[in-house]
Amino acid sequence: MANPIRVVAGLGNPGCGYAATRHNAGFWFADRLASKLGASFNHEAKFGGEVARAGNLRIVKPMTFMNLSGRAVAGVARFFDIDADAILVAHDELDLPPGDAKLKFGGGTAGHNGLRDIQAQLGTASFWRLRLGIGHPRDTQAPEREVVDFVLKPPGTDDASAIEAAIDRALDAWPEIAAGDMERAMTLLHTRPPAPEKDKP
């Protein structure tokens, strides 16, 4: 068993213009988790983000744009004396298809600027990540599309539904995640339901 989770940080960019973009998948998870737990976000200027409280859990949405996400995450961790291994960062993941959600502890940043800044601000990579697949332009009908352009655009209807389904599974696994039962949580997360059979002609 890992330590219970005391901070969930959902990554994204603030502002209406970014709200529906793939890069904001972490915000989508944070919003839905707060709703599930009956918590409300309040702006906390000292952390540079919005923070919701549910018991001993803090749900954080950095409002400093993706590249500076670490200020809010590390600020909350220091203020409440929370170890890095009790932090879960929910973020968009290019290397997973829409509909996939995976838990990971530590490791690299795979070029994700939000993760990079959090790692730098915490001084360690030893925190949990909830990787929400958004797909990669190389796997689309426009493989030459720039990654930056891809992540800063909304997903299509099918991809959006798949991402929401992955968030649903993550929320279903939340009791296990919160308690630090990551092995059980991974089993729940990594098992995608079978695609519905299409009607035969």
Q: What is the pLDDT of residue 63?
A: 97
Q: What is the pLDDT of residue 200?
A: 46
Looking at the DSSP bridge assignments, the partners of residue 130 are 90, 103
Q: What is the pLDDT of residue 138?
A: 86
C-alpha–C-alpha distance, residues 69 and 14, integer Å? 11
Question: Which residue from 74, 78, 69 is spatially nearest to 26, judged by alpha carbons?
Answer: 69
C-alpha–C-alpha distance, residues 41 and 143, integer Å? 38
Q: What is the residue-level pLDDT of the chain in tens, covering all 201 positions?
A: 789 999 999 999 999 999 999 999 999 999 999 999 999 999 999 999 999 999 999 999 999 999 999 999 999 999 999 999 999 999 999 999 999 999 999 999 988 999 999 999 999 999 999 999 999 988 876 777 788 899 999 999 999 999 999 999 999 999 999 999 999 999 999 876 665 554 444
C-alpha–C-alpha distance, residues 113 and 70, integer Å? 10
Active site residues: 23
The answer to whether the CB of 40 falls within 8 A of the CB of 60 is no
pTM here is 0.93
